């Protein structure tokens, strides 16, 4: 049975992957407390001891606005730490899958981004993840990169859980309506990740199909949960005033999945239905 090591195993994607991979693999989940990926010697020694066949590198600094304040930490974790993981993967002969983001794009397109499109990150978070991509591709001998977007699931904190918490207050909320992207259910992403383990090394885009604004997404969440969706009010990125610049359009093409024989991911609305069927309070 193949051995899979998962970094960032206490994150929402890390937990999802740990649960799903455990069905068919020997899984070694490492939390932030278990492995400091910015410690080169520790990373190398850990890989030598555990000898994984596959490394799913989900560990990252993902607090987008905080990355603008703690830029050094963002680069140390997302870029330098990822290069250490890549070098250690080579030492033990493991395949590495690195997780990146739609934030590597500047949002100037009006059609889905292809894997061949040139990144142009607007934020420290996006730039640090893109540098992580470049370092992994340069240093890892056996690797794939997966870009994803707008993650939510039953573990950790995310947009869906935030909207449900605010909905319970019964007060109007303002949600940005001029950023367009694709919500991604972690359960669906994890399924695709495991299918890609034996597929050719490449850069892949994985999100649920279709596109919406954060405003559209929030209203649908309210509707599915039985709350008054008219409480969700549209606002602009400028008025919202977030610290980090976000791409105004970050929908990604899934053509590379089709090229390796996989089906298109299901629509984001169907995935959200499934989230509620399984229960938003699932842990």
Give 101's DSSP letter.
Answer: E
**How large is the C-alpha radius of gyration of the chain?**
18
For residue 94, give the 3-state DSSP assignment: coil
**For the chain, where are the E strands, in sequence order?**
3-7, 26-30, 54-57, 95-101, 143-148, 151-152, 173-176, 180-181, 184-185, 203-205, 212-213, 232-235
User: Is residue 125 annotated as part of the catalytic site, yes or no?
Assistant: yes
Angle subtended by helix axes 186-196 and 12-21, to nearest 10: 50
E strand or H helix at 96: strand 95-101
Question: Which candidate in 125, 152, 227, 249 is catalytic?
Answer: 125
Query: What is the side-by-side order of every strand in the sheet holding 54-57?
Result: 26-30, 3-7, 54-57, 95-101, 143-148, 203-205
Give 78's DSSP letter.
Answer: I
Cα angle 64-68-116, degrees, rounded to a multiple of 5: 60
Q: Torsions phi, psi of 24, nearest 5?
A: -135, 0
Active site residues: 125
């Amino acid at each position: 049975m193949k051995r899979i090591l998962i970094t960032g195993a206490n994150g929402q994607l890390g937990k999802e992957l740990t649960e799903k991979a455990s069905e068919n693999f020997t899984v070694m989940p490492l939390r932030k407390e278990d492995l400091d990926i910015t410690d080169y010697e520790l990373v190398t020694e850990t890989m030598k001891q555990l000898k994984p066949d596959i490394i799913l590198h989900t560990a990252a600094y993902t607090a987008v606005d905080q990355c603008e304040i703690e830029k050094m930490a963002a680069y140390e974790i997302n870029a330098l730490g990822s290069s250490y993981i890549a070098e250690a993967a080579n030492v033990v002969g493991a395949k590495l899958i690195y997780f990146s983001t739609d934030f590597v794009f500047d949002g100037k397109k009006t059609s889905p981004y292809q894997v061949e499109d040139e990144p142009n990150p607007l934020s420290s978070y996006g730039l640090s993840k893109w540098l992580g991509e470049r370092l992994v591709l340069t240093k890892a001998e056996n690797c794939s990169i997966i870009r994803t977007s707008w993650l939510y699931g039953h573990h950790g904190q995310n947009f869906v859980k935030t909207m449900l918490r605010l909905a319970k207050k019964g007060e109007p909320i303002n949600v940005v309506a001029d950023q367009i992207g694709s919500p991604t259910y972690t359960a669906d992403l994890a399924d695709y990740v495991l299918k890609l383990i034996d597929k050719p090394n490449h850069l892949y885009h994985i999100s649920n199909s279709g596109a919406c604004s954060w405003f559209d997404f929030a209203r649908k969440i309210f509707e599915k949960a039985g709350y008054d969706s008219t409480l969700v009010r549209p606002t602009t990125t400028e008025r919202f005033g977030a610290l980090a610049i976000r791409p105004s359009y970050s929908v990604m093409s899934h053509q590379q999945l089709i090229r390796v024989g996989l089906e298109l991911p299901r629509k984001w609305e169907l995935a959200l239905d499934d989230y509620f069927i399984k229960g938003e309070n699932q842990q």
